[in-house]
Amino acid sequence: MYSFRSLGHYLKHTDLYLLIVALCCSTYGGILVYSATYSMEESSKYLLIQSISVLIGIVAFVVTSLFDLEELSRYWKFFFVANILFQMLLFTPLGFSEGGNTSWLRFGSIGIQPGEVGKVIFIFTFAAHLAQEFDRMNHWKTLLGLGIHLLIIVGAVVLPSSDMGVGLSYIFIFIVMLFGAGLSLKWFAGGLVVIVASIPFIWKIISGFRLDRILVLFDPAINETVAWQTEKSKVAIGAGQIFGSGFLQGSQMQHSNFPGKHTDFIFAVAGEEFGLVGCLLVLALLSLLILRLFYVSYTANTTFSSLMIIGIAGMFLSQTFENILMCIGMFPVVGITLPLFSYGGSSVITMYIALGIAAGVRMREKPNWLK
């Protein structure tokens, strides 16, 4: 654990860059959430909950940055099992269905999304597993074990919740971490061949509205109900043009019953009310955060720490791509939040915890002359 001497000492050694950029994202996100919920009942509660979540997130950032997870990495199997059991709680009476997916645990008025929190635990356990097998990574037996690690966790997340969007994020993180670890490109090529060959079988398994979510990307007329959200989002972003219609002035967001505009489609709010400039600002802030995470990974002292931060960068990268592509009609609507911008306590706090882990790695980095 990092020795906490004083607030000044902490601020001098922590990665303030990560915290400052994250707070800029949260501030802009708060403005967008306020606008998106302005015409909704009890609109003020959304900004209040979001603000409280950010404050809790800042505390979580500081606390997690003080712990050296390297010391706990030897116990990764315990955390692996704990993560599975955590996801299985959705099968209990605590599981709560919202938006068609049982993705939430409810404790009175407090909701926790295990799939979101579980991402950080997965990144920790997979980084420890990968570091343990690092020298044998390109052996097929090692890859089989790593693949089983992923499949078990994705199964634990998707089976109780039916939340394919969160499941896809785990898969993307897995791929980014393997790439960052230096897995031979021949294995990626082989994996791509297997995926392409499996499409006909997967196609038969997918049915109903899940299949329609894919098909409407090519022809919205196939299911206009399923395509409605995406079409509205595209209209909103297009209507914003260069500089947007103005704060609280977006006709699609302010004067229509648009479900998910404050969560999954917050990017469309930025597009309509602040235009291309507002969208580019979202992209710029998240890009700065992701690039910094890759830099922290590059300068980390150990293989485990480096892989863990690569996983965190992969988490931000996957959610950013999935969410924005979803909003512009190039990816199925899978219910994934835009990191630090979308409304949602579990998502916001999880992101700050992840950034706190990265800040902790940065604090424990040795000066060049000691390496």
Three-class SS of the chain: CCCCCCHHHHHHHCCHHHHHHHHHHHHHHHHHHHHHHCCCCCHHHHHHHHHHHHHHHHHHHHHHHCCCHHHHHHHHHHHHHHHHHHHHHHHCCCEEEECCEEEEEEECCEEECHHHHHHHHHHHHHHHHHHHCHHHCCCHHHHHHHHHHHHHHHHHHHHHHCCHHHHHHHHHHHHHHHHHCCCCHHHHHHHHHHHHHHHHHHHHHCCHHHHHHHHCCCCHHHCHHHHHHHHHHHHHHHHHCCCCCCCCCCHHHHCCCCCCCCCCCHHHHHHHHHHHHHHHHHHHHHHHHHHHHHHHHHHCCCHHHHHHHHHHHHHHHHHHHHHHHHHCCCCCCCCCCCCCCCCCHHHHHHHHHHHHHHHHHHHCCCCHHHC
Phi, psi dihedrals of residue 313, rounded to the nearest 5°:
-60, -40
Residue 2: inside a domain: no
**181, two tokens:** 């670890």
Residue 74: inside a domain: yes
pLDDT for the residue numbered 4: 58
**168, two tokens:** 């896809």
CA distance to 79, 137, 267, 272, 318, per residue, from 32 (Å): 36, 44, 9, 11, 21
Q: What percent of the chain has pLDDT over 90?
A: 51
CA distance to 49, 52, 78, 121, 272, per residue, from 264 (Å): 17, 20, 33, 23, 15
Exposed, middle or buried by CB within 10 Å (0-12, 13-18, 19+), for 185?
exposed
79 band by pLDDT with thresholds 50, 70 and 90: very high
pLDDT for the residue numbered 207: 65
Starting at the edge strand found earlier in the chain, the sheet holding 95-98 runs 95-98, 101-107, 110-112
Residue 370: inside a domain: no
pLDDT for the residue numbered 96: 79
Q: Is the pLDDT of residue 371 over 80?
A: no
Which domain does 68 fall in, by range? 7-365
Find the mean pLDDT for residues 158-178.
89
Q: Is the pLDDT of residue 362 over 50?
A: yes
Return the higher-pLDDT residue of 111 and 263: 263
**227, two tokens:** 């395509």
Residues 211-228 pLDDT 10s: 777 777 877 877 777 778
Find the mean pLDDT for residues 339-357.
93
Q: Mean pLDDT score of the chain, rounded to an integer?
A: 87
For tokens 């997130």, name the residue: 57
Find the mean pLDDT for residues 329-348.
89
Q: Would you tell me how many other CB atoms lie within 10 Å of the CB of residue 71? A: 9
Residues 257-268 pLDDT 10s: 777 888 889 999
pLDDT for the residue numbered 148: 95
- The residue among 239, 231, 235, 232 whose CA lies nearest residue 273 is 239
Residue 208: inside a domain: yes
8 A C-beta contact, residue 113 and residue 104? yes
pTM over the 0.85 mark: yes
Residue 371: inside a domain: no
- The residue among 100, 96, 123, 91 whose CA lies nearest residue 112 is 96
Q: Which residues pair with 101 in a beta bridge?
A: 98
14 band by pLDDT with thresholds 50, 70 and 90: confident
The amino acid at 252 = Q
Residues 21-47 pLDDT 10s: 999 999 999 999 999 998 887 778 899
Residue 1: inside a domain: no
CA distance 261 to 272: 12
Q: Is the pLDDT of residue 111 over 70?
A: yes
pLDDT for the residue numbered 349: 94
8 A C-beta contact, residue 32 and residue 94? no
pLDDT for the residue numbered 316: 96
366 band by pLDDT with thresholds 50, 70 and 90: low
Find the mean pLDDT for residues 295-317.
94
Number of domains the chain contains: 1
Residue 178: inside a domain: yes
CA distance 134 to 126: 11
137 band by pLDDT with thresholds 50, 70 and 90: confident
Q: Is the pLDDT of residue 296 over 90?
A: yes
Return the higher-pLDDT residue of 161 and 309: 309
112 band by pLDDT with thresholds 50, 70 and 90: confident
Highest averaged pLDDT of the listed ranges 83-92, 160-169, 181-190, 278-287: 278-287
Q: Is the pLDDT of residue 317 over 70?
A: yes
8 A C-beta contact, residue 304 and residue 70? yes
pLDDT for the residue numbered 336: 87
pLDDT for the residue numbered 67: 86
